[in-house]
Amino acid sequence: MKKKIITSAFSNLYTDQRIEKVCRTLYENGYQLELIGNDWNGAEKMERPYPFSRIHLVSSSLKTAYFEFNWKLYRELKKKADHNTILHANDVDALLPNYLLSKKLNIPLIFDSHEIFSEMPAIQGKMSQKLWRYLEKSIIPKLDMMITASESYARWFQNRYGVNPVVIQNAPRKIDFTEKIPENSPKIFLYQGVINPFRGIDKAILAMHHLEGVVLKIAGDGPQKKEYEQLVIREKLQNKVQFLGKLNPDDLRKITITADVGMSIEENGGDSYLYSLPNKVMDYIQSRVPVILTSFPEMKNIRNLFDVGEIIKDHQPENIATAIKIVLNKGRISYQKELEKASDALCWENEEVKLLQVFEKASRS
């Protein structure tokens, strides 16, 4: 008999595609599953085939929200977990209550690190970075089961904490691509994802000065959105840059599939970015959209395996524009054969096999 699973994350759950894919796979493979998030930054209506809840947070700042969530999450887990439960914690900001309860009840815990939380750009050099590092150092070496999102992340955790995470890439489900590639005019250059610093978005906006017959569409929301909207106005690029706002995954896919070139040109804001394999890269590939990439290890590895786009020379706007021009001059159709091969390799159907093996191991423990 399979154990029940309680999955938890500091997330409002609405746009978190990794958690959605993981939970759906577990649910469809016969696990009794419950998902717990929170209502920080909203609680959009959503439907899932398994039960979910959002912990209400009253904190006015993110710092206090973390503490409030962890305290309330521990109480929720204590009510719902028993000796037939697997705890599944997503990222370090949900790890402590899961770890404490797993020890209290002597039940298995699977830790899924979507990123290197203590090395994220937003906390570089701050007191909170020391706190998250302390938490990682205190708990991660003691974990029996851990998964993470890239080979580079796995090596980082192995070198730092002596653990051996299973790599489960955040690939999308396979799309059987039958769409006719659109003849866009102007051509569409797409960014999708959270509008955060170090994503190269501001540099991409400035690159539009060097491009004609191209429009940059920015799909997503985040703390830098207003700043970048003001940048567009200052640079008088309103006719070349469009902000589409936050979209649910299904609506986002409809946008992605129309693009002529996507971008994943993160800057080195710390090890969490340097060693990442951004979701958007594989989303573009599944939609058969060529992409411009930063020469970070994981992205360079994909580009070496599959000719799915171009690596930018650096983050100078004119060099970003040059990479875009190369892709557009070759044309989206010319990349289709390699994008098709990459889409077969980089899909959730391959990753979920490894995921189920981890949870089957936990069920036996």
Same domain, yes or no, for 19 and 112? Answer: yes
Distance from C-alpha of 7 to C-alpha of 147, rounded to nearest angstrom: 14
Report yes or no on 177 lying in a domain. Answer: no
The alpha-helical segments, DSSP class H, found in 218-267 are 225-234, 249-256
Distance from C-alpha of 80 to C-alpha of 99, rounded to nearest angstrom: 15
Same domain, yes or no, for 206 and 322? Answer: yes
Rg (CA), the chain: 21
Report yes or no on 198 lying in a domain. Answer: yes
DSSP at 180: P
Same domain, yes or no, for 8 and 90? Answer: yes
Strands 33-38 and 241-245, bridge-based pairing:
unpaired
Same domain, yes or no, for 332 and 240? Answer: yes
Kindly tell me the sign of the dihedral angle through the C-alpha atoms of 171, 173, 175, 181: negative
CATH of the domain at 334: 3.40.50.2000
Paired tokens of 137: 């150092």
pTM of the model: 0.92
Closest CA to 67 of 93, 41, 105, 48: 93
Domain that holds residue 99: 4-170+348-364
Same domain, yes or no, for 193 and 323? Answer: yes
Report yes or no on 178 lying in a domain. Answer: no
Work out how many domains the chain is built from and give that number. Answer: 2
Lowest mean pLDDT among 32-46, 121-135, 349-363: 121-135
Instruction: Please name the residues in contact with 173: beta carbons below 8 A apart, sequence gap of 6 or more.
Output: 21, 286, 347, 348, 349
Paired tokens of 220: 């997503």
| Tally of CB atoms within 10 A around 117 | 18
Same domain, yes or no, for 337 and 355? Answer: no
Report yes or no on 176 lying in a domain. Answer: no
The confidence band for 1, taking pLDDT boundaries of 50, 70 and 90, is low
Segment 291-313, tens digit of pLDDT: 999 999 999 999 999 999 999 99
Report yes or no on 175 lying in a domain. Answer: no
Report yes or no on 319 lying in a domain. Answer: yes
Same domain, yes or no, for 87 and 136? Answer: yes
Segment 260-276, tens digit of pLDDT: 999 999 999 999 999 99
Segment 238-268, tens digit of pLDDT: 999 999 998 988 899 999 999 999 999 999 9
Q: How far is CA 60 from the centre of its chain?
A: 25
